[in-house]
Amino acid sequence: MSITFEHMFYLTRREHFNAAHKLANPKWTDAENLKVFGGCANPNWHGHNYVLFVTVKGTPDPETGFVVNMKAISQLIKTHVLDLVDHKNLNLDVPFMNNIIPSTENFAKAIWQQLEPHLPKGQLHCIRLQETENMYVDYFGE
């Protein structure tokens, strides 16, 4: 399915949080993980200031001029994402990341799955997750 941008407004809310993680495939040895993931496989973890951009789409309500009330979106993100990941270890502390290698790709998809059921069908448009100032992932659902 291709995406139709027209006749739509896209609202983006930016949030941020901090977390520790490591990238390692549990089926591999430390040496194999180090070879593939480099310093990201450091057994004692490393961490990031993540920046999260959540984009929802729709048509403004003529009574308010709002597609959605950003405060409600912000509260949803807080409840279903930030409260679970901020100042946490993504590998150890976050139930929705259980058994998932916390690559930016996998983490972005997991955040989509945390938010999508709490929004009207079709409203969630994109999760952009920025891990460093030089890298980010966009995910539009599946």
Residues marked as catalytic:
40, 87, 131
Grouping H, G, I as helix, E, B as strand and the rest as coil, residue 17 is strand
Instruction: Name the minimum Å distance from CB 6 to a second copy.
Output: 5
Indicate whether 75 belongs to the interface with a second copy (CB under 8 A). Answer: no
Q: Which is nearer to a second copy, 25 or 79 (CB)?
A: 25
CA dihedral 132, 133, 135, 136 (to 10 degrees): 90
Please say whether the beta carbons of 98 and 108 come within 8 A.
Answer: no
Task: Give the separation between CA 90 and CA 129, rounded to whole angstroms.
Answer: 14
Residue owning tokens 């997991």: 110
CA atoms within 13 A of residue 129's CA, in its CB half-sphere: 23
Indicate whether 124 belongs to the interface with a second copy (CB under 8 A). Answer: no
Indicate whether 49 belongs to the interface with a second copy (CB under 8 A). Answer: yes
Instruction: Name the minimum Å distance from CB 130 to a second copy.
Output: 9
Residue ranges that bind a second copy, judged by CB under 8 A: 1-16, 18-21, 23, 25, 36-40, 42, 44-49, 55, 60, 63-67, 69-71, 86-89, 92-93, 100-106, 108-109, 132-142
